[in-house]
Chain A
């Protein structure tokens, strides 16, 4: 335990904030109501504002998770997370990066093992939404590169591009739970890879065909095209290069393709 501060008056922020997200702590002694009135319910307004607004922030970042768990379950889970990991940035759209990992450890969510990865897709969706603007690589630009150079091409990922790989059918679960329409039965146990991009104004989440996640992740990591294709074939014999290229162009996953040796310029 830290010793009490000798000059309480000089650190109102520490004293005031000490009990904001900790319900076990008493109302700070530095605050009061008018004319000798008590300050317990008055201070609780701030407590409630902080926790309720942060729960709201998590609910707006993770609407599919909330729809799956139900509002009461979600709010309880979010409250635990906020106490353990309050935001450190004033930009609330940056909050909740640790929430998927928290869900993994949350005892009451164990029966829904697909929940953390669904949350990862939602977090990627918001990152794609706020990512920098860039013109995606067009089919025409890619087509103008002589085919002899194809294997050495290095691709530049669009700032919005994200991949989430899962043992569960996350792309399907995400799509079914981001809208208002009733959700039918989903086989959650089918592994899915999701590609999140923003080709124009809107964020798009696509389910990737076999091997494509390895292919795209390798390209994003800066591996040349030929090497990425070989890695994808290793990962899945069903990897289809033609449809993967068509898919990544349509998704706007990249902004440019250059030849390796041009890197030095």
Chain B
């Protein structure tokens, strides 16, 4: 009777979905309240990203909704609680559920976070930070190896937004991430808002971070809104809240990333205070316009070469 322990994550008969290309497209988080409007529009240009855990029940409306979207659009499967940055071994049952979803829905992209959310028996439902040391590097690489073996394809790892640093860290986040890519062959999900938030919170330059980031390995970009609070000294502390439009400064950084990297699938995330579909769609259209300009620029470079 326990939905979570049912072996099959989706319909018993394996579904085959069209292999829709995702290159150079802008997409949005998929929210069920938008489903009717999305379906009414039929197949369009773009993609949708879903949080994997929301589709780990045995059946019911979530799976029907995801099937409907997946028939018409490429889908990005975004895991939130694998605890890749955790101290304990990966949860085998959770990894199996994740693998089932990859098999069932044939997502164009699969990603997870450089973070942790479970320790011992408690699940904290937040993306928690980790120190950057040789020890944690080895463990993170082991965890990514396990995920990639299970899903039989490379995953994308997302850079975190953080509010604190660890006293024991011995390397920079970009060095840490570059080493992970070298050891595991995984790709990267560059969250530009996270870069902006962390740069503000830790007092480094977002542009320096991006110059140091292995852009050539980026397979997806995330954009999102953030909120502002203040730290103990009264200085601005930015919060990765996903509850509003993308900030102007983040759009600017995004343009710089695309001008260097070329157009990569780009997602506008919006997870609370979710707006009506036309507003979310307009944010994705703004990202698409920048990607299309990047396409032209890159095309020009190729023609000149």
> Do chains A and B stick together as partners?
yes
Inter-chain contact A37/B232, CB cutoff 8 Å: yes
A17-B117 Cα distance, complex, nearest whole Å: 9
A residues near B83, Cβ cutoff 8 Å? 90
Does A10 reach chain B (CB closer than 8 Å)? yes
Chain A residue, CB-CB nearest to B85: A13
User: 0/1 per residue, A31-43, Cβ < 8 Å to B?
Assistant: 1111101111111
B residues near A201, Cβ cutoff 8 Å? 60-61, 64
Min Cβ gap B96→A in Å is: 13
User: 0/1 per residue, B244-284, Cβ < 8 Å to A?
Assistant: 00000000000000000000000000000000000000000
Inter-chain contact A127/B3, CB cutoff 8 Å: yes
Does B205 reach chain A (CB closer than 8 Å)? no
A102-B117 Cα distance, complex, nearest whole Å: 25
A90-B93 Cα distance, complex, nearest whole Å: 11
A65-B277 Cα distance, complex, nearest whole Å: 29
Give the residue of A10, A21, A43, A53 whose beta carbon is less than 8 angstroms from that of B135: A10
Give the residue of A32, A91, A202 whose beta carbon is less than 8 angstroms from that of B56: A91
Does A159 reach chain B (CB closer than 8 Å)? yes
Give the residue of B8, B119, B229 whose beta carbon is less than 8 angstroms from that of A45: B229
B residues near A90, Cβ cutoff 8 Å? 53, 80-81, 83, 91, 94, 117-118, 123
Inter-chain contact B233/A38, CB cutoff 8 Å: yes
* Interface residue ranges of A3-52 to B (CB < 8 Å): 9-14, 16-17, 20-21, 29-35, 37-43, 45-46, 49-50
Q: Give the one of B57, B60, B233 with max A CB within 10 A.
A: B60
Inter-chain contact B59/A132, CB cutoff 8 Å: yes
Chain B residue, CB-CB nearest to A94: B4
Inter-chain contact A132/B53, CB cutoff 8 Å: no
Give the residue of B117, B164, B230 whose beta carbon is less than 8 angstroms from that of A32: B164
Inter-chain contact A88/B121, CB cutoff 8 Å: yes
A7-B62 Cα distance, complex, nearest whole Å: 45
Give the residue of B3, B128, B164, B233 whose beta carbon is less than 8 angstroms from that of A94: B3
User: 0/1 per residue, B216-255, Cβ < 8 Å to A?
Assistant: 0000000000000111110101010000000000000000
Inter-chain contact B165/A12, CB cutoff 8 Å: no
Does A92 reach chain B (CB closer than 8 Å)? yes
* Interface residue ranges of B1-51 to A (CB < 8 Å): 1-4, 6, 8, 11
Does B131 reach chain A (CB closer than 8 Å)? yes
Does B92 reach chain A (CB closer than 8 Å)? no
User: 0/1 per residue, A132-146, Cβ < 8 Å to B?
Assistant: 111000000000000
Inter-chain contact A32/B122, CB cutoff 8 Å: no
Does A209 reach chain B (CB closer than 8 Å)? no
A94-B123 Cα distance, complex, nearest whole Å: 12
Does A130 reach chain B (CB closer than 8 Å)? yes
A89-B58 Cα distance, complex, nearest whole Å: 15
Does B138 reach chain A (CB closer than 8 Å)? no
Inter-chain contact B164/A17, CB cutoff 8 Å: no
Chain B residue, CB-CB nearest to A87: B123
A43-B53 Cα distance, complex, nearest whole Å: 26
Inter-chain contact B126/A87, CB cutoff 8 Å: no
Give the residue of A9, A11, A38, A88 whose beta carbon is less than 8 angstroms from that of B231: A38
* Interface residue ranges of B73-100 to A (CB < 8 Å): 80-81, 83, 86-88, 91, 94
Inter-chain contact B202/A34, CB cutoff 8 Å: yes
Give the residue of A13, A88, A130, A160 whose beta carbon is less than 8 angstroms from that of B123: A88
Does A54 reach chain B (CB closer than 8 Å)? yes
Inter-chain contact B86/A13, CB cutoff 8 Å: yes
A residues near B91, Cβ cutoff 8 Å? 90
Min Cβ gap B13→A in Å is: 11
Min Cβ gap A28→B in Å is: 9
Inter-chain contact A42/B231, CB cutoff 8 Å: yes
A residues near B80, Cβ cutoff 8 Å? 90
A residues near B130, Cβ cutoff 8 Å? 12-13
Does A165 reach chain B (CB closer than 8 Å)? no
B residues near A31, Cβ cutoff 8 Å? 164-167
Min Cβ gap B144→A in Å is: 17
- List the 10 closest pairs (A to B, CB-CB), nearest first: A130-B57, A90-B81, A38-B232, A133-B59, A132-B58, A31-B164, A13-B119, A49-B126, A13-B87, A42-B163
Q: With A39-B164, A54-B125 given, name 9 new contacts (CB 8 A).
A: A17-B119, A41-B229, A42-B164, A42-B232, A88-B121, A130-B59, A131-B57, A133-B58, A159-B58
Binding site for B on A (CB under 8 A): 9-14, 16-17, 20-21, 29-35, 37-43, 45-46, 49-50, 53-54, 57, 86-94, 127-134, 159-160, 198, 201-202
Binding site for A on B (CB under 8 A): 1-4, 6, 8, 11, 53-54, 56-64, 80-81, 83, 86-88, 91, 94, 116-126, 128-131, 133, 135-136, 163-168, 201-203, 229-233, 235, 237, 239
Subset of 30 A-B contacts with CB under 8 Å: A9-B131, A9-B168, A12-B131, A12-B168, A29-B167, A30-B166, A30-B167, A30-B168, A31-B166, A33-B165, A33-B233, A34-B201, A37-B232, A41-B237, A42-B164, A43-B164, A50-B124, A86-B122, A86-B124, A87-B123, A90-B80, A90-B118, A128-B60, A129-B60, A130-B57, A130-B58, A132-B8, A132-B59, A133-B11, A160-B60
